Structure 1
Amino acid sequence: MLCCLSLTPLALAGAAQAQAATQTRTTPAGRPTHPVAVGAQPPAKPAPAVARGVTEVDVGARRSDFAFPLAQHDPDATTRLSADLLRERDVTTLRGLEHVAPNLTMQSINGTASSNFYLRGAGFNDFTQNNMPPVLTYMDDVAYAYPAMSNGLMFDLAEAEVEPGPVGTKHGQSTTGGEVRLRSNDPTTTWHYGGMEDIASYARSRSEAYVSGPLAKGWSFRLAGQTRQGGGWQYNPSNSAHLGDADLWALRGKLRWQPNDRTTIQLGGHFVQDNSQVVTAVPVDRLIGTQPLPGYGMGRQATWSARPEFANLVGRGAGLKPSEHNQYWGADLRIIHDFGPAAFTAISAFETERQGEYTDQDGTALSQADTYRTIDANVFTQEARLNGAALHGRLNWVVGAYYQRSRMNQRFFFDYTDYTARGYMMATSFGMNQESVSEFGNVSYKLPHNVTLWAGLLHELDDRGITGLTSQIFGGKTQNFMPESTAANQFAGQVGVSWQFLPQALLYYKMSKGFKPGGFTANNTQVQAQLDPFKPETVLTYELGLKSDPVPGRLRLNAAAFYNDFHNQQVVGTVLIPNYGPLSEITNAPKSESWGFEGTLEAHPFGHLFVLQNIGWQRGNFQDFPNVDRAATNAYHKATNQWKAIERNFNGVDNGSPKLTLNGSATWRQPLPAGYRLDMGPDWQYRGSQAITVGGTGFYRLPPYFLLGAHVTLHSPSQLWDITAYARNILDRRYAESGGMATTTYFYIPGEPRFIGGRIACHF
C-alpha cells in the first residue's frame, strides 16, 4: 500500500542529468516521485505498453531538487506544472493557470465558464465562442476546439503544460498563440484509491475521489470524480439575495488493454454537469441613459434581475439568477503500437457541449442587457502519427495527419425591455459547420559538439460556414440573413538550432510561422455586412531561449525572448450600426507586432527554503489598423445624442495586453519529530493593466492588481495523508478579473475576495 506524498512545487525529487534519457518512476496514484520530463520533442520510441506511473527508473540518475530535469534539454519555453504545484496554488479551473505561468492571461467571458486566452499578447475576446481560439486546450492529447469543453475536467491531473508560440508540426492542430496541455492520471496495474475534501469560506466545498487497478490480465482501469458546491460571495443589498454558488459534478474513466508489451489500447470518457451560478457584472460607467448606477465599486455587492417574462421565454423558472445550465461529455479511443523502428499512435475523439448561460450584462436591476445563450455543439477529431529514430538516436522524426469536424447551433436571447431605444426582447440564432484537415512533420538531427538542428512543416485546409442566421424581435419583425462561408489553405512551419554548450546549460534559437483560420462574428446581428468573415491570422515568431542549472540542485534559470510579426491579427474591434449603436466585431488588424520575454527562477539557496518566481513582460502595438474609435464615438453620442462613427487608424497604439505578469511562491520545508513534515509559505500574483477596447484608457482598461496567498501543510510520516490550511487573496483586494460592454454600461467582472480554507487528502 503506497501513498502519494504531497510535495512542494520545487522539491520534487528529480531523476537525471544531461545524458539520462529514460523516463522515471512515478507513484501509483500518478504523481511523480522522480518527475517525468515532458519535452516538446516526443520520444522516438515511447513505451506504449507501460502506463504512466510505472515506467522504469534510471539507477544512474542524479537526484535533483527541481522538477522535470529531462525537460531542461528540450529547446522550448514550455512551462511545466506538476500536480502538486497545481494543488498547492489552488488551480482547479483552466483560468487558474494564469497564477502559475508567465505571460498568460485567461479570463472569463461575462463571469461564465467560457474563457478567453491571451499568451504573449496573442489572443482575442471571442464572446460568441464559435471560432478557433489562438491558444488551444488539449486534454490527454485531445484538442478542444472550444475552450468551454474543458470546464470541470481539472481534477485527478498528473501534470499540465503551457507552451507559447506557434505550434502544430509535431501533433494536433496549428495555431498562432500556443497550447495548454492537461494530462490526467492513467490506470495502474495494482490497486490504488484515494480522495480529497476541501472546505473554505462562503460554504465552498470541493470533493475528489479516484480508484485505479487491474481487472484481468492485461486490463486495467481508472475512475475519478469530483463535485463542487457553494462558494457564492456576491450579494444584492436590495433584497439580501446571494450569488455565485457552485453546483457541479464530473466523472472521468479510463479502460486500458495491453495485449502485449508493444501495444496499448485505451478507451476514455467523461461527463460533466454544471448548474453553477456565475459572478455577475459590476457597472463602472453608464454610456446611455440617466439612471444612476449602483455605485458599489468592486466589492461583494452586485445587482441583477430577470423578468418573469424573459425567464419564461428562455424556458427557465422564475427567480432566475445569473447561472450556467451546462452539460459536457466526450469519449476517446487511442491505439499505440511500437513497431521497433517507429511507434504508431492513433487518437479518435468525440466531444460535445450543451450550454445554457444567463448573464445580466448591464449589472443593474433594469432589463437593459439581460442575455441568455444556448449552445449545442459537437466535435469529432482524428489524429494519426508515427514517431521514429535512426542513426543511433541522432535522427528523430514524426509525421502525421489531423482531421477535425465540428457542428454548432447557437441562440442568443436579449431582454432590452428597459432600454428605451429598443424596448423589446429579441433572439439571434445561427448554425456553424466546420471541417479541416492537416498534414505535419518534424525532423531533428544531432550534430557533433551537442548541436541539434530541427525543422517542421504543416499544411492545413480549413472550411467553415455560418448558416440559418435569423434576428427575431418578439412582437416585431424577423430578419433572415444569407449564409456566409470562408476557406483557408495555409502552410505553417518551424526551423531551429540548439546547443548544449554545458551539461547544465542549453541555448536555442528558432523561427516559427503560425496559422489560424478565419471565422465569423454572430452576436446580435443587425445587417448582412456583420457576417462578412474575418481573415485568417498568421504570425512569424523569432525566439531565443536559455535553459540552465548553473548550480545543480540549488539554482535553475530558464528564459526566452520573442518577437511576433502578425499579419491580419484577429482583434475585437467596433462596428457602428446606424440608429442602433456600437457593437463589438471580430476583425483583422492588417499589421501588428509584439515582443517581450519570460523567465522562471527556481532556487534552493539553503536548507529548507525553496523559491519559485515567474516573470513575463511583453509590449506590442498595431502598425496598421483602421477601425471605429469606440471611446470617441461614445463621447460624441453623449454630447449630441446621435450615433456617428468616429474613424481612426490605430497605428502605433498599444495592443492592450498586460505588460507585466508576475507569479511565484516560497516554501519552507520543516522536518518534525516522528517523521512528520511541515511545508509552509506565501504565494503571489501580479497582473498589469489591460485594455478592454482598442486603445482603451480610463474605465476602458482593467486596473492592475496584486494578490497574496499562503499555505501550511502537514505531511504524515506514513505518507498516507496530508492536511493543508490555506488563504487566497489574504489582503482582500478588490480587483477586476475581466470586463466588457453591454448596451448601456461598461462593466467589470470582479475577482474573488479573501478565501480561507482547509483540505485533507489521502492516497492508498
Structure 2
Amino acid sequence: MDIGKLALLGCVSGMALLASGPALAQAVPDPAGGPTAAAGADESRSDDIVVTANKREQRLNDVGLAVAVVGGQALQNQRVSSLADLANIVPSLSYTNSANGTPVYTLRGIGFYETSLAAYPTVSIYLDEVPLSFPATTRHSVYDLERVEVLKGPQGTLFGQNATGGAINYIAAKPTRDLRAGIDLSYGRFNEVIGEGYFSGPLGEKAQMRASARIERADGWQRSNSRPGDSNGKVRNYMGRVQLALQPTETINLLLNVNGWKDKSETQAPQAIGFNIQNPFVSSLVTNSQLSPERPRASDFTPGYTRADNRMWQASLRGDLDLTDDVTLTSISAYLDYKQDQADEGDGLPISTLDLPSDQGRIKTVSQEVRLTNGSANRLRWVIGGNYEHSRIDQEILVDYHDSSSTTTLGVVFGYPIANSFYYSYQRKRNYAFFGNVEFDVLPNLTLKGGTRYTNARASTRSCNSDRTGIADNVGPFFYNILLGGAFGPYKSGACFQINDQPTEIGGVAPGAPGEYDATLKENNISWRGGIDWKPRPGLLLYGNVAKGYKAGGFPTVSSSSFVAYLPVRQESVISYEAGFKAELLDRTLQFNAAAFYYDYRNKQLRSKLNQPPFGILDILQNIPKSTVKGFEIELLARPTRQLTVNATMTYIDAKVDRFVGINAAGVAADFGGTRVPFTPKYQVGVNADYDFPLSRAIDAFVGSSMNMRSDTVSVVGGDINPATASPQGKSLFGIDSYVLVDARVGIKSQDDRWRLSLWAKNLFNTYYWNNVVAAFDTIGRYTGKPATYGVNVSYRI
C-alpha cells in the first residue's frame, strides 16, 4: 500500500477513533503563537479564531478545510515581514527567490517557477479579498495585519483560477471606534533599522480611519569574493496604508483602502557554485573565475547590476449593503499600479556571462467582484457572484552576456562577437467568471457543501528580441547576415530578429521570416468543489472534500532566437481528494488537527530549457502531462498552563512527475518520469513555543523559540541529475539540501501589554542554506538564505 492510501486510511481511522471518544469541552484560546488551525466551539467565544475562507466570517473549527492561521501578535513575535518569513513558519508552504527577485511560492507541491512579471502564480495572494494577481506586487504587504490565512488545496470556486495550490489572504488591522496608536522600533545586525507604527480612531459617529506605515533600512549582507570590502543586499523599503471606514446608514458599510510601497533595495546576487559551458570557445575571464565559497554571505556581482527602484500602489473600495435582514450585497472594486526599474545579477561572477543591466516593467490591473450572501445562521447558506479582471503587463529587459562562451565562439567562428540584446513582452489579460457556493445542514451536525465557477480567460502578447545598436558585430546583423543569409536585407536597429520556425504564419510573420511574435490565447474552465462536514460531538469536526481547480495558461517573457520559445503554455488543473479532522481535547487545552490529501496534477506548467544552437540552452515554458502529489499534515496546539503555549506541525509530501520527456531547466534531456516535483521537501517539521511568567505585579517576562526543519529537495525537474558537461560533478548541483532554522526571542512587557522590550535572533546558529539553484547560461548559481541576524526591539501601544 502506497503512502498516500496509507495516510488516507490513517486519517479515516483517526476520525472514527475521535468520533467514538468522550465528549470534551470548548476550544483552545488563540495563543497568538504561530500558524494554527485551532479554536472554535459550538458556542462563540471571544478567543475563537474567525476566518473568511468561505467569504463569510466563520469560526475556524467550523470550516471543513485545511487552513493555517497566523495571528497579528505571532507575526510580530516571530518577525514575519515577507512571504519568505511566512513560508518558514507555515507547514507545506515553500518560498523561492527567483533570478530577478520575483517571489515564487509552492504549497503542497503545487507551484510555478516563472520569473516573468506577467506570470500568474498557483497560490493566489489577497489583501482583504482584493487580489494581488501577480507575484511582483506581493513583496511588501506583511505589516499591521490582524492575521494571515493560508488556505490549502484548490480554491477555484471562491477564489478563482490561479489558486490550484491554495490562497493566502492578508487581513489588515481595521479602523477602530476608539482611539488607538502604536509604534515598534528595532535595531539589528547589518545596521538594520525597522520602524512601524499605526494610528486609528473615529472621525465622527459614522466614520473611522486607520493609518499605518513601515520603514526598513539595512546595510548589505552579501560580500564580494573578488573585491574585499564591497557588499550587496542594502535594504531601503517604505510602506504605507490608509483605511477609511464609513457607515452612512444602518444597512451600508464602506471600506476604502489605499496602500503602497517603494523598494529601493539592492537585488540579491546568486552564489556561483558550478559551470556548464555552452559553447566550445571560452574567454579566460570565465575559466579563471573562482566559484564561491559555500558560506551564507559569500557571493559576487558586477558593480551596478544589483539595484532596484520599484513601487506599487493600490486602491480598493468595499461596499456591503444589507438588502434584507438576511441577504447582503458585496462589491469589491480595485485598481493596482506597479512600476519596476531594476538591474539583476545573473551569474554570481564579477564578469557578465549573463546579467540584466535593465529590467523594467509596468503592471496595471482593474478588478471588480460582486456577490450576494445570506446569513450564517441559516440551514442553507449560499454565495453567488461574479468577477472581472483586466491587466496590462509590459516588461522590457536588456541582457548583457559579453563574457559568455556564446560571444567568444560566435566571434571566433563567424566574426560576430554578439554581446547583448533587448527583448520585450507587452501582454494583456482579461478574465471574467461566475461562481456559486452552498452549504446545507442535512442534520444539525451534518453539512453537505458544493460550489462551482465558470471562468473565461483571454491573454495576448507582443514579444520581440531586438538589437538597439545595430553595429556590425552585434546580434541583429548576425541574424540577418548569417542565420537568414541576407534574404531580408541589412538589419535595421530595433527590428525584431527572432525567426518564425513554426509551420504557419503567426501575427503576419511568414514561416522562415523574422518579426514580432503576436498571438492570443483563449481558454475557459469550470472549477468545482464538493464535500461533507460531520460534527459527531462538540469540539470535533470531520470533513472530506473533492475539488478541481485550474491555473490559466500564458505567454513567457524570454530572450529567444525563434518563435518556438514564445508559444503559450496551456492551463493546468488539479483534482484534489482530502479528508481531515479538527479536534478540541482536554478542556480546550489541546487542539489536534490532521489532514490527508491526494492530488491528480495535469499539465503542470514548467519553465524549462530549449537547445538553440549556436547559442546553447535558452528558456521555454512547457506542460508536464501528469504528476501526482500525496501526503498528510498533523498539527498539535497545546496550552498546558496559562503561561506556556506549544505549537507543533509535521508535513509529509510525496510529489512525483509521472510523465514528462524533454529538457529540464538545467539543460538535461531525459525521460523524467518518476522524478521529484521541485521545491517540495518530503518532510517538514515546525515547533514554536512561548512562555510568559510574572516578574512583579506590573511586569511580565517572556521567552520563545521556533524551529523549522525541511528535508532536501530539488530546484528543477530531474534535479538529481547533473548536466554531463557541468562541473564540479562531485555534488548535486541542482539539489537543495535539508536544513534546520532556529529563531529565539526573550524580553519583558507590561502586564497590560502596552509596552514590550525584547531581544531577538533569526537563524540563530548561522545555518548555511539556500532555496533555489538556477542555470544562468554558462554558470550555476544558488540563492542563499540570510545568515544569523539579531537585535533589539521596543514597542508601545496606547
Alignment TM-score, normalising by the size of structure 1: 0.88
2:783 counterpart of 1:758: no
**2:685 aligned to which of 662, 667, 673:** 662
Structure-2 residue corresponding to 1:57: none
Change over 3 Å in CA distance of 1:15–1:512 after alignment to 2: closer
**1:134 aligned to which of 101, 119, 122:** 122
Structure-1 residue corresponding to 2:8: none
Structure-2 residue corresponding to 1:59: none
2:84 counterpart of 1:100: no
Change over 3 Å in CA distance of 1:111–1:530 after alignment to 2: closer
Q: Is the 8 A contact 1:589 1:625 kept in 2?
A: yes
Does the residue aligned with 2:203 lie in a helix, a strand or coil? strand
**1:19 aligned to which of 27, 35, 42:** 42
Residue 740 (structure 1) shift: 0.9
2:716 counterpart of 1:703: no
Matches within 5 A, 1:657-736: 657-697=680-720, 698-736=732-770
Q: Is the 8 A contact 1:139 1:150 kept in 2?
A: no
Aligned partners of 1:293, 1:596: CA distance in 2, in Å?
41
Structure-2 residue corresponding to 1:90: 79
- Which deviations, in whole Å up to 9, do the C-alpha atoms of 1:156-196 show, x marking residues without a partner? 11110111111132355552111010011111122111111
Residue 117 (structure 1) shift: 1.1
**2:550 aligned to which of 491, 515, 528:** 515
Aligned partners of 1:568, 1:630: CA distance in 2, in Å?
17
Amino acid at match of 2:717: V
Change over 3 Å in CA distance of 1:511–1:12 after alignment to 2: closer
- Which deviations, in whole Å up to 9, do the C-alpha atoms of 1:403-444 show, x marking residues without a partner? 000001101111111114224121111200000000000001
Where does structure 2 lack aligned partners over 5 or more consecutive residues? 1-28, 408-417, 477-494, 498-514, 721-731
Structure-2 residue corresponding to 1:345: 330
Aligned partners of 2:681, 2:38: CA distance in 1, in Å?
37
Aligned partners of 1:74, 1:531: CA distance in 2, in Å?
42
Matches within 5 A, 1:418-567: 418-422=403-407, 423-448=418-443, 450-472=445-467, 474=469, 475=471, 476=474, 477=476, 478=495, 479=497, 480-567=515-602
Aligned partners of 1:579, 1:7: CA distance in 2, in Å?
60
**2:216 aligned to which of 214, 218, 228:** 228
Does the residue aligned with 1:152 lie in a helix, a strand or coil? coil
Q: CA RMSD in A?
A: 2.2
Change over 3 Å in CA distance of 1:552–1:571 after alignment to 2: farther
Amino acid at match of 2:231: H
2:583 counterpart of 1:583: no
2:647 counterpart of 1:612: yes
2:387 counterpart of 1:402: yes
Amino acid at match of 2:372: L
Residue 7 (structure 1) shift: 9.0
- Which deviations, in whole Å up to 9, do the C-alpha atoms of 1:314-348 show, x marking residues without a partner? xxxxxx25122101011111111122221111000
Residue 747 (structure 1) shift: 0.5
Structure-2 residue corresponding to 1:197: 185
2:307 counterpart of 1:323: yes
Residue 757 (structure 1) shift: 0.9
Q: Is the 8 A contact 1:274 1:326 kept in 2?
A: yes
Structure-2 residue corresponding to 1:40: 53
Structure-1 residue corresponding to 2:168: 180
- Which deviations, in whole Å up to 9, do the C-alpha atoms of 1:599-623 show, x marking residues without a partner? 2211123463221112221112122
Q: Is the 8 A contact 2:39 2:60 kept in 1?
A: no
Change over 3 Å in CA distance of 1:592–1:209 after alignment to 2: same
Residue 496 (structure 1) shift: 0.2
**1:278 aligned to which of 261, 267, 272:** 267
**1:299 aligned to which of 293, 296, 299:** 296
Amino acid at match of 2:430: E
Aligned partners of 1:110, 1:173: CA distance in 2, in Å?
26
Change over 3 Å in CA distance of 1:417–1:175 after alignment to 2: same
Structure-2 residue corresponding to 1:334: 318
2:352 counterpart of 1:367: yes
Residue 220 (structure 1) shift: 1.3
Aligned partners of 2:763, 2:575: CA distance in 1, in Å?
38
Residue 501 (structure 1) shift: 1.1
Residue 111 (structure 1) shift: 6.5
Where does structure 1 lack aligned partners over 5 or more consecutive residues? 1-5, 25-33, 47-67, 307-319, 635-645
Aligned partners of 2:39, 2:310: CA distance in 1, in Å?
44
Q: Is the 8 A contact 1:11 1:610 kept in 2?
A: no
- The alignment of Structure 1 onto Structure 2 pairs a total of residues equal to 697
Change over 3 Å in CA distance of 1:165–1:731 after alignment to 2: same
Does the residue aligned with 2:299 lie in a helix, a strand or coil? coil
Change over 3 Å in CA distance of 1:686–1:584 after alignment to 2: farther
Residue 129 (structure 1) shift: 2.9
Amino acid at match of 1:123: G
Aligned partners of 1:354, 1:690: CA distance in 2, in Å?
34
Does the residue aligned with 1:387 lie in a helix, a strand or coil? strand
Does the residue aligned with 2:432 lie in a helix, a strand or coil? strand
- Which deviations, in whole Å up to 9, do the C-alpha atoms of 1:240-278 show, x marking residues without a partner? 111111101111101111012221112111121110112
Change over 3 Å in CA distance of 1:173–1:140 after alignment to 2: farther
Aligned partners of 1:282, 1:10: CA distance in 2, in Å?
34
Q: Is the 8 A contact 2:161 2:549 kept in 1?
A: no
2:60 counterpart of 1:75: no
Q: Is the 8 A contact 2:423 2:463 kept in 1?
A: no
Alignment TM-score, normalising by the size of structure 2: 0.84
**2:112 aligned to which of 107, 117, 124:** 124
Does the residue aligned with 1:367 lie in a helix, a strand or coil? coil
2:373 counterpart of 1:382: no
Change over 3 Å in CA distance of 1:12–1:729 after alignment to 2: closer
Structure-2 residue corresponding to 1:170: 158
Aligned partners of 2:734, 2:463: CA distance in 1, in Å?
34
Aligned partners of 2:181, 2:299: CA distance in 1, in Å?
42
Q: Report which stretch shifted further, 197-206 or 519-528.
A: 519-528
